[in-house]
Amino acid sequence: MSWTSLCELGELTEGEGTYVEIGGFQLAVFLSEGKVHVMDNTCPHAGGSLAGGHVENGCAVCPVHQWCFGLEDGLLSGSKGFAVRVYPTRLMPRDGKQTLVQAELPIY
């Protein structure tokens, strides 16, 4: 695993998804109640882009069929059969610059 910079905190909008592609990963980054969450971007149901969705009740809502995945655990609300991978995150303050959003991603 390796900490990877994804974007600057100022690029995120509370309650909305942001798409980031880096190092072969397609990720959905969410800012919810001041906390950053990172998960795989592709919904396992119909392949929708989770980054195109929004946050509701602690879940990332897929814009295709409104499936809700927990920001903390990636589990589909109300079902144990579907999940998306979530990644540990951290904020990296920088002197005189925007804070970086980082995720711990596997190294291949």
Whole-number Å distance between alpha carbons of 38 and 94: 21
pLDDT, greater one: 17 or 108: 17
Q: pTM score, two decimals?
A: 0.94
The model's confidence at residue 80, banded by pLDDT at 50, 70 and 90, is confident
Q: Would you state the pLDDT for residue 45?
A: 87
On the question of pLDDT at 93 being above 90, the answer is: yes
pLDDT digits (tens, 9 = 90+) for 2-61: 999 999 999 999 999 999 999 899 999 999 999 999 999 999 988 999 999 999 999 999
Q: What number is the average pLDDT over the span 56-82?
A: 93
What is the model's pLDDT at position 39? Answer: 98
- The full 3-state SS of 12-25, as one line of letters, equals CCECEEEEEEECCE
Residue 108 confidence class, pLDDT cut points 50, 70, 90: low
Domains assigned to the chain: 2-105 (2.102.10.10)
Question: Strand order in 89-94's β-sheet?
Answer: 2-8, 97-105, 89-94
